């Protein structure tokens, strides 16, 4: 696999995280805190096996998956809704479809220059995040 997302990444921009959180039904008080955060992502990639740890001063979220293998995701500490998740390669992009109660839920990761991009989707909302290497 040509692309390697491994590394420690710091959030530098976060467009419409608020809309994404509203779409997920995150309450007002939690949103107020969460939108101030500058999360860090620690990604460990071994071929198609991924360990993605999103950390912040408020909450952490750990996701482990293998590309092409569907798994149950609990979204613990986020909206806590369970879904079935499947991550696949679309060329050099890593695309996750999260099937469950929320329509059009998922995310896409890709590299652009030295930056890590993440698009988070839920219902009709799209959040765009950019990370730089720590």
Sole binder of ligand VLZ in the list 34, 83, 87, 122 (CB under 6 A): 34
Sole binder of ligand VLZ in the list 39, 83, 121, 122 (CB under 6 A): 39
Contact between 30 and ligand VLZ (CB under 6 A)?
yes
Distance CA(15)–CA(101), nearest Å, equals 24
Least separation in angstroms between residue 127's CB and ligand VLZ is 9
Sign of the Cα pseudo-torsion (112, 91, 6, 77, in order): positive
**Kind plus residue range of the DSSP H or E element containing 34:** helix 28-34
The answer to whether the beta carbons of residues 43 and 5 sit under 8 Å apart is yes
- The residues binding ligand VLZ (CB under 6 A) are 26, 30, 34, 37, 39, 41, 52, 54, 56, 58-59, 61, 63, 78, 107, 118, 120
């Amino acid at each position: 696999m040509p692309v390697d997302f491994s590394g420690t990444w710091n959030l530098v921009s976060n467009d419409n995280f608020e809309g994404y959180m509203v779409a997920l039904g995150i309450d007002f008080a939690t949103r107020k805190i969460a939108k101030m955060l500058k999360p860090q992502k620690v990604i460990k990639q071994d071929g198609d096996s991924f360990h993605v740890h999103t950390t912040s001063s408020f909450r952490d979220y750990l996701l482990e998956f293998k590309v092409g293998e569907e798994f149950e995701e609990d979204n613990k500490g986020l909206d806590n809704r369970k879904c079935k998740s499947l991550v696949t390669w679309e060329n050099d992009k890593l695309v996750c479809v999260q099937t469950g109660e929320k329509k059009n839920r998922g995310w896409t990761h890709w590299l652009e220059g030295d930056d890590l991009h993440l698009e988070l989707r839920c219902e009709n909302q799209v959040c765009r995040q950019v990370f730089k290497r720590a």
